[in-house]
Amino acid sequence: MKYYIIAGEASGDLHGSNLMKAILKQDPNAEFRFWGGDLMESVGGTLVKHYRDLAFMGFLEVAKNIRTILKNIKFCKEDLKNYLPDTLVLIDYPGFNLRVAKFAKSLGIRVVYYISPQLWAWKEGRVNIIKKYVDEMLVILPFEEDFYKKHQYNKAQFVGHPLLDAISDLKPISKDEFKKEFNLNDKEIIALLPGSRKQEVEKMLSIMLSVRERFEDYQFVIAGAPSLPREFYQKYVDDDVHFVSNRTYDLLRCSSVALVTSGTATLETALLNVPEVVCYRGSKVSYHIGKWLIRNIKYISLVNLIMNKEVVKELIQDELTTDNLVGELHKVLYENREIILLDYKELQNKLGGKGASDKAAMVIIKALL
The pLDDT tens digits of the residues spanning 35-88 come to 999 999 999 999 999 998 776 555 555 556 677 778 889 999 999 999 999 999
- What's the rounded Cα separation, in Å, for the pair 263 and 319? 18
- What's the rounded Cα separation, in Å, for the pair 369 and 364? 10
pLDDT on residue 62: 57
Distances 104 to 1, 30, 49, 93, 243 between C-alpha atoms, Å: 17, 19, 18, 16, 42
Q: Decide if pLDDT at 16 tops 80.
A: yes
3-state secondary structure labels for all residues of 49-77: EEHHHCCCCHHHHHHHCHHHHHHHHHHHH
Torsion angle (degrees, nearest 10) of CA 83, 87, 92, 94: 70
Question: 363 and 136 in contact (C-beta within 8 Å)?
Answer: yes
pLDDT on residue 17: 95
Q: Decide if pLDDT at 287 tops 70.
A: no
Using the 8-state DSSP alphabet, how is residue 242 labeled? E
- What's the rounded Cα separation, in Å, for the pair 77 and 100? 7
Secondary structure class of 27 (helix, strand, coil): coil
Domain 168-350, CATH class in plain words: alpha beta
pLDDT tens per residue, range 87-145: 999 998 888 999 999 999 999 999 999 999 888 777 788 899 999 999 999 999 988 99
Query: Which ranges constitute the DSSP H helices of the chain?
Result: 10-26, 38-43, 58-64, 66-83, 94-106, 127-133, 144-150, 162-168, 175-181, 198-208, 230-233, 248-253, 264-271, 284-293, 302-307, 322-334, 337-350, 356-366
Using the 8-state DSSP alphabet, how is residue 274 labeled? -
**CATH superfamily membership of 2-161+353-366:** Glycogen Phosphorylase B; (3.40.50.2000)
pLDDT on residue 125: 81
Q: Decide if pLDDT at 324 tops 80.
A: yes
Tally of CB atoms within 10 A around 82: 8
- What's the rounded Cα separation, in Å, for the pair 85 and 27? 14
Neighbouring residues of 81: CB distance < 8 A, sequence distance ≥ 6: 107
Q: Decide if pLDDT at 234 tops 80.
A: yes
Torsion angle (degrees, nearest 10) of CA 263, 267, 269, 274: 130
The full set of domain ranges for the chain reads 2-161+353-366, 168-350
Neighbouring residues of 326: CB distance < 8 A, sequence distance ≥ 6: 211, 214, 215
**Which phi and psi angles does 216 have, rounded to 5°?**
-70, -15
CA angle 56–57–61, rounded 5-degree value = 75
Distances 35 to 22, 75, 105 between C-alpha atoms, Å: 18, 12, 19
The whole-chain average pLDDT of the chain stands at 90
pLDDT tens per residue, range 260-272: 997 789 999 999 9
